[in-house]
Amino acid sequence: MTQEPQNGCGVRLRVEGQVATVTLDTPSRLNCQTPSTWRELAAIGARLDSAIRVVVVRGEGRAFSAGLDRSLFSGDPDVVDGLAALATGSDAEIVEGIATFQAGFSWLTAGPAISIAAVQGHAVGAGFQLALACDLRVLTEDASLAMAETSLGLVPDLTGTWPLVRAVGYPRALEICATGRKVGAAEAVAIGLANAVVPADQLAGAVQDLVAALLAAPAASAAATKQLLLGAGDRTRTDQCAAERLAQLPLLRQFAQR
């Protein structure tokens, strides 16, 4: 299924068995993003079948995503979905608008499916945050990550700050965001931003192997384990032990019945 927003930043969805592949599909524009992109991502997440166990997010062509479409930076408030148009709203309208954009990213981590970002070339700003929204990241050797928002006088607001801090810690996350510098693939895997780095011609195969490994575990236990680990950083040790007990209860009963 392919749906093309009016700005030309398309999002394509393919479902094969228990695997959904979401592709940013405007390679001539380095898979730039706009609010239409985020609304379509949110719509995909909302209608995704509960039987889907793995979601792969990728970009067509030589870049994962170079970030925001430059048309959004126009100072003309009449530009549909532009930043100037968003800024003319009330405080409540601006906050609500950003929350709508964030919905295109948050489902990738919050849902039961395990999500994988397959990243080649540039992943800048919104592109970096889309990769961060996924549970796992596989990068090509030429991949380059950068958080450009602070350098533009903004903040990263597409759900990227939480997973970035969890992955690399506060001091390094601050340095990456405040300087806007590029993080190469070798550094990304060294500091915990990437699960693996592979040659460009091996990206598809590496992701396929990872998908197969994830599908090898029973669906219920994989989903429950994801939620346990996802919440671990926000719980005390005692609370995490309690969460383990509650998660194990139904699985243990099912195991005994088998």
Q: pLDDT tens, 184-219?
A: 999 999 999 999 999 999 999 999 999 999 999 999
Q: Which of 149, 135, 116, 158 is nearest to 21 (CA)?
A: 116
Domain ranges of the chain: 2-216, 219-257
The CATH fold of domain 2-216: 2-enoyl-CoA Hydratase; Chain A, domain 1 (3.90.226)
Give the chain's residues under pLDDT 70: 1-9, 76, 78
**Chain centre distance of CA 249:** 31
pLDDT tens string 116-129: 999 999 999 999 99
Residue 78: the pLDDT is 64
> For residue 56, what are the contacts with CB-CB under 8 A and spacing of at least 6?
19, 20, 21, 22, 115, 116, 118, 207, 211
Task: Note whether 65 and 127 are within 8 A (CB).
Answer: yes
Residue 167: the pLDDT is 96
The CATH fold of domain 219-257: Lyase 2-enoyl-coa Hydratase; Chain  A, domain 2 (1.10.12)
Q: Taking the CA of residue 179 as centre, how many other CA atoms within 13 Å lie in the half-sphere pointing to its CB?
A: 10
Strand-pair partners of 196: 138
Q: What is the pTM of this model?
A: 0.93
